[in-house]
């Protein structure tokens, strides 16, 4: 049952938070055949398997899908599940821990320019790495003329919290959602781009109406700051709003409506606690920071996001859906007039890394039970029956019920 809200959600109790270290590492079970949600019974069909740690997908105009594999490959998956050989022309990546080849996106005018964008963990000097954004032209043989057009600075050691989601706004500007590379304090320092959302022209140059252009000591690419690790981002094409869901520490995953020049408070505030058990001040104690629209404890570990616009799930039109890695499912956020009216967790019994809407309104997800490891591509579409009109038991093997 969807949880109706009266204002923002309140963080879970310390007892719930204390349980997160266990629940976040639970390994999922087998694929479900169908799942009962608040508004529909949804069929789940495996289309392709054997993908190597898949991370992102983007639909081509002909219905095929570009899929990134974190070790460094980009492949094309056909609607019948056929997987191509790795495409030529991809960049060298740091394929360690959370790093690798990550997001893929098509230029808004892809039909005429064939331009695609990739983000990845780029190796640096002295064992460092950082997120990089590049683009090239998709051809029958691979990617032609790939070049890096923007780099997160500075590169640091470690292979955590790269973020990496590419979103194009309604005006054609490119938003890139980033992590703070598990460095904490730099997310509050405007001289770097750790823990930020940056806004770029499609060639990687800086739009002159960005909030910090021309200000000494402030990186002009920054659109918003004070973020922890963003692997879920989407633009609502109806309103133009940019939404991100970011991972909290122990507790405190956040859904944020990103505003120009907004500071979202990490690591000064959070609804969660640090991994060592120490407290973090509550966001309400620091009103100068932008507050989240919703918090989750226990965490969901958001990855991949859409604002649904299709016809197959009419009751979900205008809602946010994102993959839940540690929770093993899909989170649906019911938006009413741009405000969060409720949330529903849809259990899928596996880690959902990516979620996209297909041309016909079906929902497609990338799964992987662990990283590195094998992953699959699933297609979700409604069955003819809804929960309130089902004429019998829906608890057969392979059907996941909400809350279980």
Q: Which two tokens stand for residue 311?
A: 């016809």
Bond into 298 cis (ω within 30) = yes
Place of tokens 């990550």: 102
Bond into 307 cis (ω within 30) = no
- Alpha helices by DSSP H, 132-279: none
**Closest to 179 measured CA to CA, from 264, 54, 69:** 264
Q: Which two tokens stand for residue 291?
A: 């507050």
- Cβ(28)–Cβ(268) below 8 Å: no
In degrees, to the nearest 5, what angle opens at C-alpha 330 toward C-alphas 325 and 331?
Answer: 105
In degrees, to the nearest 5, what angle opens at C-alpha 380 toward C-alphas 377 and 381?
Answer: 150
Q: What sign has the CA pseudo-torsion 43, 47, 52, 54?
A: negative
Whole-angstrom Cα distance, residue 309 to residue 358?
10
Cα→Cα distances 161→191, 226, 277, 281, Å = 19, 13, 20, 21
294 catalytic per annotation:
no
Place of tokens 């038991």: 393
**Closest to 324 measured CA to CA, from 255, 373, 387:** 255
Query: DSSP class of residue 291?
Result: P
Cα→Cα distances 394→75, 166, 222, 349, 398, Å = 37, 38, 49, 17, 10
- Cβ(74)–Cβ(65) below 8 Å: no
- Alpha helices by DSSP H, 5-71: 14-18, 20-23
**Closest to 12 measured CA to CA, from 265, 256, 387, 294:** 294
- Cβ(386)–Cβ(394) below 8 Å: no
Q: 25, 107, 161, 227: which one is catalytic?
A: 161
Whole-angstrom Cα distance, residue 274 to residue 368?
27
Q: Which residues form the catalytic set? A: 161
């Amino acid at each position: 049952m969807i949880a109706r809200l009266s204002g923002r959600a309140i963080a879970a109790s310390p007892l719930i938070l204390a349980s997160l270290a266990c629940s976040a590492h639970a390994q999922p079970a087998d694929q479900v055949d169908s799942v009962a949600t608040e508004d529909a019974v949804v069929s789940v069909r495996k289309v392709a398997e054997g993908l190597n740690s898949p991370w992102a997908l983007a639909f081509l105009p002909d219905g095929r899908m570009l899929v990134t594999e974190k070790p460094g490959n980009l492949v094309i998956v056909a609607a019948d599940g056929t997987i191509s050989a790795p495409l030529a022309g991809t960049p060298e990546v740091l394929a360690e821990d959370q790093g690798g080849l990550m997001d893929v996106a098509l230029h808004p005018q892809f039909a005429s320019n064939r331009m695609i964008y990739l983000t990845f963990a780029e190796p640096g000097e002295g064992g460092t790495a950082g997120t990089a954004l590049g683009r090239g032209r998709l051809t029958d043989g691979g990617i032609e003329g790939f070049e890096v057009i923007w780099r997160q600075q500075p590169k640091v050691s470690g292979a955590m919290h790269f973020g990496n989601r590419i979103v194009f706004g309604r005006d054609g500007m490119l938003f890139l959602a980033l992590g703070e590379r598990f460095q904490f304090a730099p997310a509050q320092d405007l001289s770097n781009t750790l823990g930020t959302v940056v806004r770029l022209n499609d060639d990687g140059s800086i739009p002159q109406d960005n909030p910090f252009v021309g200000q000494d000591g402030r990186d002009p690419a920054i659109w918003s700051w004070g973020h922890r690790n963003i692997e879920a981002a989407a633009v609502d094409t109806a309103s133009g709003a940019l939404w991100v869901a970011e991972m909290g520490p122990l507790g405190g995953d956040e859904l944020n409506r990103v505003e120009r020049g907004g500071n979202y408070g990490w690591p000064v505030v959070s609804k969660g606690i640090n991994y060592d058990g120490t407290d973090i001040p509550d966001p309400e104690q620091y009103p100068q920071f932008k507050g989240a629209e919703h918090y989750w404890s226990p965490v969901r570990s958001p990855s991949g996001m859409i604002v649904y616009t299709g016809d197959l799930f009419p009751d979900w039109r205008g809602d946010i859906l994102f993959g839940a890695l540690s929770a093993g499912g899909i989170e649906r956020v019911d938006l009413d007039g741009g405000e969060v009216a409720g949330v529903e967790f849809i259990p899928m019994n596996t880690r959902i890394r990516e979620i996209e809407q297909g041309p016909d309104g079906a929902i497609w997800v990338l799964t992987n039970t662990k990283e590195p490891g094998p992953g699959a591509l699933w297609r979700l579409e409604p069955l003819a029956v809804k929960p309130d009109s089902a004429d019998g038991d829906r608890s057969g093997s392979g059907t996941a019920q909400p809350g279980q």
